[in-house]
Structure 1
């Protein structure tokens, strides 16, 4: 009986929310996106961030759907649910749709995100890859573009933060990717004399230039979980960010957060090649082939770059971010791809990787 009452209450709440959205009116003169997707669940968090980018770029998002679709979106996935739970996100009424609009449909998208890399020698002439984004909650909580001083004097050091769970982050070894798992990268740096672990914000921000220069500074989540609204601020104190791969693929949201403040990616070659456009060594990244090569870079090159070289790299990183990774940049590139009839690849995380098994 209690379970039935709980289910009935959920149904009533969902019904009320659906009716509110159906009754919503929209300015017909605004830029508009029409969404005709039968299976948004395939792309989970990345479907949310793509639609969110259109909202942040000034578009009204029209998404006609049935009540059952609404309930699935609202209750099945914590990121997809944001599409119907966020205030002023959607309009369900196509009668409000202006004459000029952009339309996205299932048929022009594919979750086979890495097929160009593995099967076509990374030829992307006829395709577009919607890039990695910040963690979805950074957009949802409106902290993705908090003001950060990107011109501050930085430590000539490497920073890295995140989860280093030894079990979860070895799963990438079961895929076709050849990147070094983040747990192995951590062990590599822990054996260095210049390794330093941060346990608080003060451990970073209060240090003098001499204390942290040429250090490898790690903020491991288990010991110091950086608040999401402080992530970009922390990154802006350092010249370099060590890009660790995700659970089952090279891509991880941390690299985007680093580039947003001009922190230069120190990144493995395969990782750099599944970012589109590919990152380039000594242009907008420092790229290493393997641990031996990384060791050589640390010993001979990284901390000996001139101020002019660092400034040029940082400038190029910020330009890359603005052109390809901001909501406005991504939306512009998606719209151009639709116009040019290109196949658009959208991340589906584990599902995207399973295509290669």
Structure 2
């Protein structure tokens, strides 16, 4: 069975199980109305929706279409103030988010401005953590018990592809995983093993790698256990380098080791709020550098990460940009910036 067919069947099964959760807005109070372009990805909708929930109390209503119904239905069971507009009925609008001229906030996908810029761009909507973090709460641990942590989906059929190198000039997740596994400092463990052993400090001078396929930390508890690590080795996403793991790490003072520092707004700085790697040789050297780092130097890095997150990614003031433009990163290949070095 092809990978595409598997995805379609999975989505159909998901839709059948979640359709009963879908709500249509029937009240009269004005709403936050979202009307985005047809190529807007699910992740882009969620990025906007969860930040709107932090900023406004009004219901969030998405323009109804059969396509939206199919791709977004499962989130209605997780987000209690999310609705579709009732077909053929006009909805009163408090704030409208759209690419259309009539919008209170004109949306665009010009994220290449972030990649090319060295300074903070204020009208760019921050990339969010995995949505489950906002649903489950943000409990964390203060003490450090793990040297470097990496966890996620490493399915070779999905991540071992040339797209990231060809378009963005970065190593893909599968190649990175293979290199990390080969290092003597690496321990491949399950999420249960981490939960049972992290307090022993057995992993304080190690890199622990957890594959979802073998049993990793559930999304609802991921940020809690991530906070026990000093560093996270950030693997890039599937369609673009930027991945929610770096935002989660910064939020709890875990220093990211990554190969896409210029995708954040503003760019991270090597040796200040991250460590960076570019090739397989630098993967090995940066792991050893992180594990051997002086405690005072590490503490300065950790503090800088949290300050960065608080300043740029913890919240967003939409009202500052009313009647202006907002930029949203969209994981459609037509909208993603291309590395200048490729």
| TM more than 0.5 | yes
Match of 1:323 in 2: 311
Determine the structure 1 residue equivalent to 2:156.
166
Aligned residue among 194, 219, 237 for 1:246: 237
Q: Tell me the SS of whatever aligns to 2:237.
A: coil
Q: Is 1:46 the counterpart of 2:18 in the alignment? A: no
Q: Which runs of 5+ in 2 are unaligned?
A: 1-15, 101-105
Q: Would you say the 8 A contact 1:48–1:80 is kept in 2? A: no
> For the residues of structure 2 that align with 1:207 and 1:161, how far apart are their CA atoms?
15
Q: Take 2:45 and 2:284, find their aligned partners in 1: how far apart are those partners? A: 38
Q: How far apart in 2 are the matches of 1:64 and 1:182?
A: 33
Cα deviation code 1:300-353 (max 9, x no counterpart): x32232222222222222222233223xx1x31x443446x4552332344434
Give the unaligned 5+ runs of structure 1: 1-9
1:148–1:85 CA distance, 2 compared to 1 (3 A): closer
TM-score normalized by the length of structure 2: 0.77
For the Cα contact (< 8 Å) 2:36–2:97, is it kept in 1? no
Partner of 1:87: 80
SS at match of 2:205: coil
TM-score by length of 1: 0.74
Query: Contact 2:128–2:313 at 8 Å: present in 1 too?
Result: yes
More helix by share: 1
Q: How large is the Cα RMSD of the aligned pairs? A: 3.4
2:202 is aligned to: 211
Q: Distance in 1 between matches of 2:231 and 2:121?
A: 33
**1:1-357, aligned counterparts within 5 Å?**
17-18=23-24, 21-22=25-26, 24-26=27-29, 34-35=32-33, 37-39=35-37, 42-61=40-59, 63=61, 65=63, 69=64, 71-74=66-69, 76-77=70-71, 79=72, 82=75, 86-90=79-83, 102-107=95-100, 108-114=106-112, 117=115, 121-122=116-117, 128-139=123-134, 142-143=135-136, 145-149=137-141, 151-155=142-146, 157-171=147-161, 172-173=163-164, 175-207=166-198, 210-268=201-259, 271-299=260-288, 301-326=289-314, 329=315, 331-332=316-317, 334-338=318-322, 341-342=324-325, 344-353=327-336
Equivalent residues, number: 313
Larger Rg: 1
Separation in 1, partners of 2:244, 2:96? 27
Q: CA deviation at 1:203?
A: 3.7
Distance 1:198 1:322, change over 3 A: same
Q: How far did 1:137 drift? A: 4.1
Deviations 1:11-39 (CA, angstroms, capped at 9, x unpaired): xx89x943xx21x254x8xxxx6435253
